[in-house]
Structure 1
């Protein structure tokens, strides 16, 4: 079968190589899945660079989120068992963690409902306890993680402010339903948030970016607000000034969604049920901006790493390259 492999760490476009390899063999508790769609996530780039918290042995196949098909024909969502990631014809996954793919979504959309939306749900509802009528500020609102948070915030009855970089991404965020879109390249984010909220600031800030975005978050958060730290796509891990949190009376909340799979997998299934319900009634729908064949996966991962994409990019192993 064909699979992308990483033999040394570096930039995805330089270290990912498409090869013919043997089909993986499931270990105890695992299942073999035919990959129907594998969506590109920022952790795929970090895996290639050797910068992710999980470091599979070399060589490995990246791809942390798939919609796959079991040998008995069941359509499921899964996080592949590395080193056998999803950018391949077949992958392996933990049998106990499989989730049914919603019938209302196609393969690429279904795969995108998994990590980004689970992260958004746990971040907004379990960690930040977002309430209807509150103001939610989402950084990188046009990206895969941010777009999910925007939709979930609107579904929860929040007023959503999206921060993006550039006019194209601003248009995407507006189309997702943001009540206000701030282009960080041309506007002062903190001033715009304060102006939109009558000086109060955002009740909840959802930050998958870190760096300057976190600095803005601390200045734009409201009294008794909550900043949810989801990731560091900027490449810079901020060092919060705890005295500032004390003086302004806000909370900084970390979110590592993967821990729920280990610590409380039942919550993951409950979350999936809620997400499936929201998708079925049209309250959320994953934004899939590109669908590419397997041989274009390395370029797609590089584009995500470079921050030039919107929504999710889906790799479809069964799709042929356009002539």
Structure 2
């Protein structure tokens, strides 16, 4: 079968196509004929930690949808021919393996492309908004870089929870589309100059939760935008700025909570436990059509490098997907 592999070379991520054997499922695994796979920005950032410099190439991609072709020993609740979605290491391939604990039956209304990006991003949103962020109905949430895949997922989940949402983006056109999806306050900026507008919209008290997908360049402004007992989730640093000053007085007097959102150090056990929470809290919303993954564009299997460049250009809204026909 055909499979895309990735490695770090001269400070950049390089892709190459290989012919490899079709994998066979071990205990607790599902073999899947992959139909679509989602791109996730972190995998393609050199030095991000997913691929060590100088390390050997490894199969690329880690989220997919497809049909079950075989069931490993000890697996219950899945059958050959079922449509499934979930985490899949080496997802940019014609066949792959999923751990049964991180696989889900695809809701009937979702396409292959929507199902391919229905897990990792929304699992991240669950971590930010529910598991750690404790977002409640009526609260305010601010998302910097809200047009990203994680940002759109956060918007959808927050609205399903009954919260109110502000978001920043450098694209007024993207913000207009997100307003149609429930965005309450659109802030057209890429700079850390949004605090006055946030305070005005929130009646001067600040927001209850900030999701920072941008990075250190807006960190101080995120802290300033928080209200009493506010929470700040750091989920990415697309600006490349990984260090920032912290206003300890604000942290102290406003009783703030700052937390990170990452899967880098999670074990399989951690991931399976998180998957169970996704199954309990978010999968029913997808099955009911209240949360629908937003696919910006789907590329053919051979065009992964083109899809990667499109993602890095940042012109998309939602997710970019690889179609594995």
Q: What's the TM-score bracket when you normalise by the shorter of the two chains?
A: 0.7 to 0.9
Give the match's secondary structure for 1:214.
helix
Say whether residues 1:78 and 2:75 are aligned partners. Answer: no
| Match 1:289 to one of 283, 296, 313 | 296
| Match 2:59 to one of 45, 58, 61 | 61
How do residues 14-93 of structure 1 correspond to structure 2 at under 5 angstroms? 15-46=14-45, 49-53=46-50, 55=52, 58-71=56-69, 72-81=80-89, 85-93=90-98
Separation in 2, partners of 1:136, 1:153: 8
Separation in 2, partners of 1:246, 1:187: 22
Alignment RMSD: 2.3
Separation in 1, partners of 2:276, 2:143: 25
| Match 1:197 to one of 195, 202, 207 | 202
Separation in 1, partners of 2:101, 2:320: 27
Number of the residue aligned with 2:77: none
Q: Note if contact 2:191-2:218 (Cα within 8 Å) is conserved in structure 1.
A: no
Separation in 1, partners of 2:155, 2:81: 33
Aligned residues: 311
Flag the 1:28–1:264 CA change in 2: closer, same or farther, 3 A: closer
Deviation at 1:137, TM superposition (A): 0.5
Separation in 1, partners of 2:128, 2:191: 28
How do residues 119-268 of structure 1 correspond to structure 2 at under 5 angstroms? 119-185=124-190, 188-241=193-246, 243=248, 244-257=250-263, 259=266, 261-263=268-270, 265-268=272-275
Separation in 1, partners of 2:34, 2:59: 13
Q: Note if contact 1:139-1:209 (Cα within 8 Å) is conserved in structure 2.
A: yes
Summarize deviations over 1:65-104 as a string: whole Å, max 9, x none.
Answer: 11122212122123223xxx11111122323432222222
- Comparing both chains, which one has the higher relative contact order based on Cα–Cα distances under 8 Å and sequence gaps of 6 or more? 1
Q: Note if contact 1:162-1:173 (Cα within 8 Å) is conserved in structure 2.
A: no
Q: Note if contact 1:261-1:268 (Cα within 8 Å) is conserved in structure 2.
A: no
Q: Note if contact 1:4-1:16 (Cα within 8 Å) is conserved in structure 2.
A: yes
TM-score, length-scaled by structure 2: 0.87
Separation in 1, partners of 2:104, 2:293: 17
Task: Name which of structure 1's ranges 97-106 and 287-296 shifts more when overlaid on structure 2.
Answer: 97-106
Deviation at 1:290, TM superposition (A): 0.3
Deviation at 1:194, TM superposition (A): 1.0
Q: Note if contact 1:118-1:272 (Cα within 8 Å) is conserved in structure 2.
A: no
Flag the 1:264–1:300 CA change in 2: closer, same or farther, 3 A: closer
Separation in 2, partners of 1:30, 1:152: 29
**Bigger fraction of residues in helix:** 1
Flag the 1:268–1:50 CA change in 2: closer, same or farther, 3 A: same
- The answer for unaligned runs of 5 or more in structure 2 is 70-79
Q: Note if contact 2:216-2:241 (Cα within 8 Å) is conserved in structure 1.
A: yes
Separation in 2, partners of 1:303, 1:52: 22
Summarize deviations over 1:258-280 as a string: whole Å, max 9, x none.
Answer: 63852373442232243221123
Number of the residue aligned with 2:278: 271
